[in-house]
Amino acid sequence: MSDISPATVSEATIAIDAMGGDFGPEVTVPAALKFLAQQQQQNIVLVGLEDRIQYLVSQHNGQRFQDSGRLSIVHASEVVEMHEPPALALKKKKDSSMRVAINLVKQGEAEACVSAGNTGALMATARFVLKTIKGIDRPAIISTMPCKDPSNTVHMLDLGANVDSSPEMLLQFAVMGSVITEFVDKKDSPAIALLNVGAEEIKGSEKVKKASVLLNDSDLNYVGYVESDELFTSNVDVIVCDGFEGNVALKASEGTASMIFDILKEEYQRGFWAKLTAALSLPVLNRIKTRLDPRRHNGATLVGLNGIVVKSHGGTDEFGFLHALEEASTQVRRDVISHMQEKMESLI
């Protein structure tokens, strides 16, 4: 495990699809400027409609970063819409901010790309432009899960890029998750688990059972099955699953959290006494909100590609997008792509 020298770090550049997400440059531009102010050795390229971006950079006093050469703008004339079919975006919008940002990674002009745009289009475009790492059939979406114990980090993949994954693909997801955890979290021999269902008549699908055999035969630190009620409390490092199941788990969790907070809000607004205690409880409620803030986990990685591509939640704000930028920056610093390529090379 070799650390990158400061000299390399200073050259790192992140390309931002500035037009992506529900709020586009209104969020991406201020987040980029905040990132530049915080991370002295990183550069940013904002990709998208130049006039609009330049206007916002100036409005947020970001010209000093342009003057010092740490911030540049690359014009792209098209924007991929949030609900545009991925295949269409890939075929028709060759000058989209998303495509141009990914091209910069391909051309070596940026070390990572961050987008809050259409996930499907981002995946299709990134896969087409950057190609998968040799030995990997399909890229996957990986993210950290909010854990009850804040000192704990659990990575979960695939969160929705691949449905109908084969057992061999699940093994590849496990390898990718293991490398990410080893180099990003600096954790040796990460514990890998498969998502399964238990306690019922038949324990697990054929696919999961076969993947379990493959993982047992691998050199990974495979520890067995977890069920989805343990997502936030298990002490494994990586949870591996098909993208359908991962997406179902993630969204069921989001839906539950949002229902509970809606009910909390409703009940704390019902009548004078409730409102009074809500006001008194504010410091406590704010601590709870902070601990469960999904923005702190914003930034899923499209893993398995010859380049770092981080997907931010489309509806996030400046704080959330900043977190996605930090995620990309950490992966650049830890040289995740080289390690992933080496690992796959060793397995072929």
The identity of residue 165, as a single letter, is S
Kindly state the smallest distance separating residue 84's Cβ from its own copies, in Å. Answer: 11
Report the number of secondary-structure helices (H) and strands (E) in the chain. Answer: 14, 11
User: Please, what is the minimum distance in Å from the beta carbon of residue 130 to its own copies?
Assistant: 15
Q: Which is nearer to its own copies, 49 or 226 (CB)?
A: 226
243: three-class secondary structure by DSSP:
helix
Distances (CA, A) of 301 to 26, 54, 88, 91, 177: 23, 28, 23, 23, 11
Peptide bond into 219 cis (omega under 30): no
CB nearer to its own copies: pick between 98 and 123: 123
Q: How far is the CB of 96 from its own copies (least distance, A)?
A: 16
Closest separation between CB of residue 178 and its own copies, Å? 22
CB of 136 to its own copies, least distance (A): 16
36/159 with CB nearer its own copies: 159
Core vs surface per residue 227-253: b (16+ CB within 10 A) or e: ebeebeebebbbbbbbbebbbebbeeb
Nearer to its own copies, 62 or 304 (CB): 304
> What are the Cα distances from residue 253, in Å, to 190, 306, 316?
24, 31, 17
Q: 214: how many CB neighbours lie within 10 A of its CB?
A: 16
- Token pair 């298990």 is found at 234
Q: Name the residue nearer to its own copies (CB basis): 62 or 120.
A: 120
Residues of this chain that bind its own copies (CB under 8 A): 83, 86, 118-120, 123-124, 141, 146, 148, 160-164, 195, 197, 199-202, 204-207, 227-233, 243-245, 247-260, 262-264, 267-268, 270, 273-274, 276-278, 280-281, 283-284, 287-288, 291-292
